[in-house]
Amino acid sequence: MKVIRFFLPVLMFYFSGFTNGQQTILTLEDCVLLAIEKNISIKQSELEYESAEIDKSDAIGNFFPSINIQTNHSWNVGLNQNITTGILENLTTQYTSMGANVGVSIYRGLSNINQLHRANLSLLARQYQLDDIKDDILLFVANSYLQVMFNREILEVQKTQLEITKKDLIRTKNLVDAGVRIKADLLEIEANLASQEQSVISAENNLRLTKINLAQVLLITDYENFNIAQEDFEVPFSQILMESPKDIFEKALSFRNDIKLAITNVEIAENDIKLAKSSLQPSLAAFYGYSSRISYSDRLKGTGNYNFVPIGFVSTTGDQVLTSIEERETVGPLPVFDQIDLNEGHNFGVQLSIPVFNGNSARNNVERSRVNLERFKNQFEQTKLDLENTINQAYNDTKGAYKLYEASQRTVDAREKAYNDSFSRFEAGVLNSFDFVQIKQRYEAAVSDLVRAKYDYIFKLKVLEFYFGIPIEI
């Protein structure tokens, strides 16, 4: 059955709650909760959910402006002009520059909105995926748990039959001593007793193996001190068998996580088409930039004193032409904030980008998204078809298992009557030991078949109820 997925790597987890020498008993609910808590596949799915939350945070961030600040400090070492003497010298100068940029998207073809919608759908899909894995683990653990219950009941049946055989041996020995039965009858009973002891040993081994299997499902290494709860479990008759497979299927469509996941994947694919189309539309963005600069070099500053310096002669009179030049002195750099105000600059504007031709990549992305949508639609239809087939199979299996259980019960009743009658005839000396043992063994086989039919029906019923939305409980 698909939903069981026995070969999923869902059982690799660490458990350390058991100590040697202390008996630990778990119920089905305990086993399921432990598996869900420690399961590696669930942890991986939870990480995927966290990743989807991060993607959603990215999508929300697209609606906010981008702000970046940069700064730079540099040393100039080498041949530079001395601002005092004007001579080229080997100097070391320092400069600090800084700036900030702000960009905001005004219109991108609704891609931001579509990206946020996709992130929300992806988050929902990861949740459905996580819940679906938990459903699989629940069924897997329930099956392993019921196997232990089945083998434990088989062991009790074999022990009971062994005790009956021991009593038969004592009675037969007394009858042989009284001369009512021959010694061959005693030997036949002893052989049956040895066979019954082998059956008990085999049942004990089977119980131990199924307990080990369940323990390995939980990665419990202390097999000897691990056990499940002792529960009296009567065979139920569920009203779900009064429902039709179609009704069960219709209800399963409303809550099954694999169906919800398939639907969400289709919605994501539809949104991806809108997202791909947004790249075909123009985009408009606004920007603003600020910059300034600081120098740590000395500078020349006027002293307020002027000197008259000849710069030429008047051609007609020969008189000198003079000009006044202010004297300058070398001083330190301006204060930092004064330099920032003095050197600041601003850059702002809007940018329009219109896609014209990009090698058909944008249009091909749209077509690729359409193909992907059809693929997810097909997967959704296949998921529904698989679910319907599984429910039909589970329904037929459950009804067949219940009929087999009823038939097994009638067989046990008939075999028990035959055994009781043969016992009386054997004690009376009318029936030989060989025929008596054969009748007894058929009765024992019928009891074992009844237990097997009981748990086969129980598990199939629980699976069918699970599809109908009824929690699995023991």
Indicate the SS3 state at residue 100: strand
Query: Is 10 domain-assigned?
Result: no
Residues 339/295, Cβ–Cβ less than 8 Å: yes
> What's the rounded Cα separation, in Å, for the pair 181 and 200?
28
- Radius of gyration for the alpha carbons in the chain, expressed in angstroms and rounded: 44
Cα dihedral: 144, 145, 150, 151 (round 10): 70
**Within-domain flag for 3:** no
pLDDT tens string, the chain, 474 residues long: the values are 443 333 333 333 333 343 344 667 888 888 888 888 888 888 899 999 999 999 999 999 989 999 999 999 988 887 776 655 567 777 778 888 999 999 998 888 888 999 999 999 999 999 999 999 999 888 888 888 888 988 888 898 889 888 888 887 887 788 777 776 778 878 888 888 898 899 899 999 999 999 988 888 887 777 778 888 877 667 766 778 888 999 999 999 999 999 999 999 999 999 999 999 988 889 999 999 999 988 887 777 777 788 888 888 877 887 787 788 877 777 778 888 888 888 899 999 999 998 888 878 888 999 999 999 999 999 999 999 999 999 999 999 999 999 999 999 999 999 999 988 888 887 777 787 788 888 888 888 898 899 889 989 988 988 898 888 888 776
Residues 227, 96: Cα–Cα separation, whole Å: 74
Report residue 294 as tokens: 């600081």
Which residues lie closer than 8 Å to 349 by C-beta, 6 or more apart?
286, 287
CA distance 130 to 135: 9
Q: What is the DSSP letter of 224?
A: G
Residue 200 lies in a domain: no
3-state secondary structure of 332: coil
What is each CA distance from 286 to 62, 99, 330, in whole angstroms?
14, 17, 44
| Cβ(152)–Cβ(221) below 8 Å | no
- Residue 223 inside a domain? The answer is yes
Domain total in the chain: 1
Residue 238 is assigned to a structural domain of this protein:
yes
Say how many residues make up the chain.
474
Note whether residue 189 is domain-resident: no
Distance, CA of 302 to CA of 306 (rounded, Å):
9
Residues in Cβ contact with 307 at an 8 Å cutoff, skipping those fewer than 6 apart: 324, 325, 327
Domain span including residue 44:
24-150+206-298+333-467
Looking at the domain assignment, is residue 162 inside a domain?
A: no
**CATH number, residue 443:** 1.20.1600.10
Residue pair 362/355 in contact by the 8 Å Cβ criterion: yes
Q: Is residue 433 part of a domain?
A: yes
- Per-residue 3-state assignment (H helix, E strand, C coil) for 340-409: HHHHCEEEEEEEEECCCCCCCHHHHHHHHHHHHHHHHHHHHHHHHHHHHHHHHHHHHHHHHHHHHHHHHH
453: burial class by Cβ within 10 Å (0-12, 13-18, 19+)? buried
pTM assigned to the model: 0.76
